[in-house]
Amino acid sequence: MTQSNPTIGCLYGIGVGPGDPELITLKALKALQKAPVICVPQAANRRESYALSIVKDYVKPEQEILRAPFPTDSEEGAAQVWREASKLVTERLRRGQDVAFLTEGDPMLFSTFSYVLAGVREMCPEAPIVIIPGVSSVMAAAASSGEPLVTHGQRLAILPAAYGLDDLAEATSNFDTVVLMKVSPTMVRALANLEELGLTGQSTYVRRVTTDREKVIKDITQITDEDLDYFSLLIVKGKGKKQAANQD
């Protein structure tokens, strides 16, 4: 479906939520279904985009699915790949087509959308951009675990990876709750370090939250290789020695 509108299209950064298709917002759903082009990050070594799999039943046959290649490990290679993805998106925007860029969870939290956002801002500064927040896996994991992440005056830290002993010791003594994302590649090290810090009993593992493969493991000594998954995180209750300066 090609729009005849000669003006620049709008880039929508859309959070589709953590996995349950019902956890997309109404606003995101409307923007997703209206856009002639749906852009998804696509890793060369992976099957379908996770974000697209969440919303597949909402996509109409006439919508173009634009697969933006996922970056390589090398920083230089990654920058090049994201330039290419931003170029593909910019081409559609210049044709007057709106582009809905899908990300799992929220688009502003460890999301591939951030690279495309920067690229499009640089390549097509006149393009309007609308960012629609989504339910992050962090929030969904707290809901599934049944434990509030933080309460009045407490501190929360969200860490991306590399769970060395020093990192964890510092984070868990400064924050009441620490969420470790992208944990699966370093899980063995993270578990050993949590044990050394005496935090094993205060940690919860959440895998594939809100999907039919969801698993919440409150005794993390029970985690097996089969439980490991890229879409997983650990919620660690820290010691939170420092109090927030301004309590709300």
Binding site for ligand SAM (CB under 6 A): 18-19, 103-106, 109-111, 136-138, 141, 181-183, 206-209, 230-233
How does strand 177-180 pair with strand 232-237? antiparallel
> What DSSP line would sit under 201-220, residue for residue?
GGEEEEESTTSTT-EEESSG
Give dist(CA 39, CA 9) in Å, integer. Answer: 13
Rounded to an integer, what is the distance from CA 7 to the centroid of its chain?
A: 31
Give dist(CA 199, CA 203) in Å, integer. Answer: 6
Cβ closest to ligand SAM, residue 106 vs residue 176: 106
Tell me how far, at minimum, the Cβ of 181 lies from ligand SAM, in Å.
4
Q: Cα dist. 100→16, 41, 60, 125 in Å?
A: 11, 12, 13, 17
Cβ closest to ligand SAM, residue 83 vs residue 182: 182
Give dist(CA 219, CA 208) in Å, integer. Answer: 17
Cβ closest to ligand SAM, residue 141 vs residue 190: 141
Cβ closest to ligand SAM, residue 134 vs residue 240: 134
Position 204: which residue type? Answer: T
| Chain residue whose CB lies nearest ligand SAM | 105
Tell me how far, at minimum, the Cβ of 84 lies from ligand SAM, in Å.
19
Sign of the CA dihedral with 141 first, then 147, 148, and 151 last: negative
Tell me how far, at minimum, the Cβ of 112 lies from ligand SAM, in Å.
7
- For 176, the 3-state DSSP assignment is coil
Tell me how far, at minimum, the Cβ of 230 lies from ligand SAM, in Å.
5
Cβ closest to ligand SAM, residue 1 vs residue 130: 130
Tell me how far, at minimum, the Cβ of 211 lies from ligand SAM, in Å.
6
